[in-house]
Each structure stands twice: as structure tokens, then as C-alpha cells.
Amino acid sequence: MAWAPFEIQQTDEPGLIRLTLVGELDLSTAPLLKERLSSLRSDALVVRLDLSKLAFIDSSGLHVLLEAVHDAGRLLQVEPELAPQVRRLLELTHTDRLIVTGASASN
């Protein structure tokens, strides 16, 4: 598998900020996402994560997502469309309900 650089693309929408994660969310890039989510928490806006463009996610990335969902509650939403490898990891770890269903509340 070719290396895919990690990128966080931000789109500001009325009442929310959409973050599209692109590339590989792993041990080296998970702190970047954690830092971005922490900085946005003080804005008290809904943050919606789009994980459909992730090429890879490991346990470090999963940990950041779980922590963010727990800490932000209803202020963090995850788009229901997931990259196949992300969906597979969530299913294997039985965290799919915690991240997708628990965080995909509509506006």
C-alpha cells in the first residue's frame, strides 16, 4: 500500500465545522487530529468528521476518535459514510455504535 499523507480539510458551514480526514490516521498523525479537535472545542460549534477519505486508520487513530466522541458529546458528529477500512476497524473492535450511531445525530 502506498503511503498517503495525512491532511485535515476544514469547511465552515452554518452552525458547524466539517473536518474531512484524508490519508492515514496513525500513531504519527493522531496527535494532529487531537490537537485540532481540542482547539475547536472552545468554539462550542458542532464539529462533523468525514472519515470517508481515510486510506488507513490504526489503534492510535481509533483512540483519538473515541476520546473525542466521549469528550465532546453532541458537539461531535461523524458522517455515516465511512471508508471501508475504517468501517472494518470499527466493526472488528465493536466501536461502530459508539462512533457512528452515537455521534451521528442530525442538526
* Domain locations in the chain as residue ranges: 7-101
Q: CA nearest 56: which of 32, 79, 22?
A: 22
Count CA atoms within 13 Å of residue 13 on its CB side: 13
Instruction: For 63-84, write each residue's pLDDT tens digit.
Output: 999 999 888 877 889 999 999 9
C-alpha cell at 4: 498517503
The pTM assigned to this predicted structure is: 0.86
* DSSP letter assigned to residue 99: I
Least Cα distance to 95 among 83, 103, 106, 84 occurs for 103
Class in CATH terms, 7-101: alpha beta
User: How far is residue 11's CA from residue 103's CA, in Å, rounded to a whole number?
Assistant: 19
Residues of the chain with pLDDT under 70: 1-3, 100-107
